[in-house]
Structure formats: C-alpha cells, structure tokens
Structure 1
Amino acid sequence: MNTRWKPSATVAAIIERDGRYLLVEEHTPEGLRLNNPAGHLDPGESPEQGVARETLEETAHRFTPTALVGIYLSRFQRPATGEDITYLRFAYCGELGDFDVQRDLDTGIVRTLWMTPDELRECPERHRSPLVQRCIDDHQAGHRFPLNTVHTDPSVQRKG
C-alpha cells in the first residue's frame, strides 16, 4: 500500500520578557515536559491564528504574532509505542497581551513559567523536543522574518 507522508503542522510562540522566556510545563506520554506555548494547527486557520489560539489556551494570555522566527522540521519516535511522528513547526515571536484570570489552562498544562535560556539549557531531559531550545536560540540570534513569509490562501478558511 502506498501511503502519503503527512507531517503534523504545529505552531509555537517564542515570548521573551526581561531575558526570560515563557514556557509551559505539560503532561506528555513521556512524563512532565517543558515546551514553548505550542500546538497543532486547526483546520480553517492560518498559522498566525493558530499560534494566537494555542498561546491563549495554554497560558491564558492573548498573543499577537509580529514576526516568524523560523520553520522547523523534526522527527520524534515515541518510546512507549514506537509511534513515528514528523512535526513541521512554525515559530512566531510577538506581543504578549492581557492575562485572562477567568480562563483555565488547556488540558495537560500544569503551569506556565519564565526561564532564562541558560536555565533551560541546564535541563534538556525535560524538553518536549529539541525544538524548544532551538527556537529560543534562534530568537536570541535575531532571526525574524516578515509575517507575509507564510501565505495562507483564502481557500483555507472556506467552509466545505
């Protein structure tokens, strides 16, 4: 059988304030892990809409992307099941907005925390993937691309 390979499209927010980066601590099949606020792109949304939604769901903060930090491809093989997943990640930096005190964090998110790049570098075994550190390193290196680097055709948002 000829099966087409389909990587999972994900989005991530790279949010820095005073030398610290906003991270989430979340339950995964591999245990408690650290990640950038991130998740899967939903049908009918642009990557910019997806990263704003995921950041709100995982941190209870509004987020407005202002630049693309990078596009990343990574492969993960789940130790427990052998599942082989390839992720295509669009990482954005931007403006962190208001905190919604009434909003619960997404299922599986234990807490948010702010860490320096060095603090994060000291615990690679706790990273959800190698992309957590790579995105922060790229942000620190000044990687910024205009939002229109990624074009979402209007057909994406059409129903049916």
Structure 2
Amino acid sequence: MRTLTTLCAAVVLATVTIGTTGCTDAPDGGTTPSAIAARPTASASPGLPEHLAILHRPFAATDAFPESEVAASTLEEVVPNSQRRAGERDGTTYWVAAASNGGACLIALDVDQDSPDDYGMCGGTHVPAAEVLVTMDGDDGHRVSLVSDGYTDRGPTALHEVVPNVWGN
C-alpha cells in the first residue's frame, strides 16, 4: 500500500545523485547542506544506540527508504537520517534506525506495492548488548526481531539471522 510511488522514485534518484557527488566538511569546519541531510543531528537524539554498529557507519544512498503509508507513522519516532539499510531477503527490505527516545527501530518494506507486509516498530529507551529489542509478526506468520550486536540464540525455536541485526524464525 504505497501512495507516493512517483515521489519515492524522485527521492531515491535525488539521494543517489547526492551520494555520488560526495559530501564533505567545509574548510571552515562547517558542513555543506547535503552533508547535513545525510547525517543524524546531535540535537535530534540523545545519541545513537551504542550496541548497533550498523548505525555508526556513514550514510549511503542505499540507506534512504521510500515513503510509504505504513512506514510514515513509524518515521515520527525515527531520528532523521539515522536509518541504515540492513539488507533484503525474500522481497522484503529491512532498515535499522535510531529512535528519538534512545531506543531503536526496525522498518520492513515489501517490494510488492500491494503487500500488507510493510511495517515498522520502535522500542526501548536504550539498547543493551546482545538482546532482542523489537519483535514483529508478518502477515505470513513469520516473526522478525531487531537484535543488538552480539545476539545469539539456541534451541528448537531459536531465531536465525535474516540480515545483520534482523533475526527471524
């Protein structure tokens, strides 16, 4: 269920254009406007979660996500430009983002525009090491969880890595 498909393509194209031209700090210690748009700001968050290394890598053009009706409600909690694309599996792309309250968010978007499997969820007020942070059930009955760095699981009902920091059954 996407309402801004044309706009999404324009946003992705603009992001790719900015990403390929490069963004650097200005000689006077400031930043160019496009560099500001590609980084979370200190004033927008108490800090990026410590135990999610994915959030500490530089923003890339592939980290931008298209706007969708379902993800828009989650975006209210996401620190602007903190999202990082964790990967894609079986037609669903996963992003990890910092939440404005110090927690973390998991956003999942299905490439099928009619799919009900677009969802996002934020949780917690901090991110401990090696723990499940957020769990969501998809319409297909599969569960996915956002986990912090160092997470492991064992046993017959154990979660398994889907993409970095995203585990499922």
The alignment's TM-score, normalised by the length of structure 2, stands at: 0.27
The structure with the greater share of residues assigned to strand is 1
The alignment's TM-score, normalised by the length of structure 1, stands at: 0.28
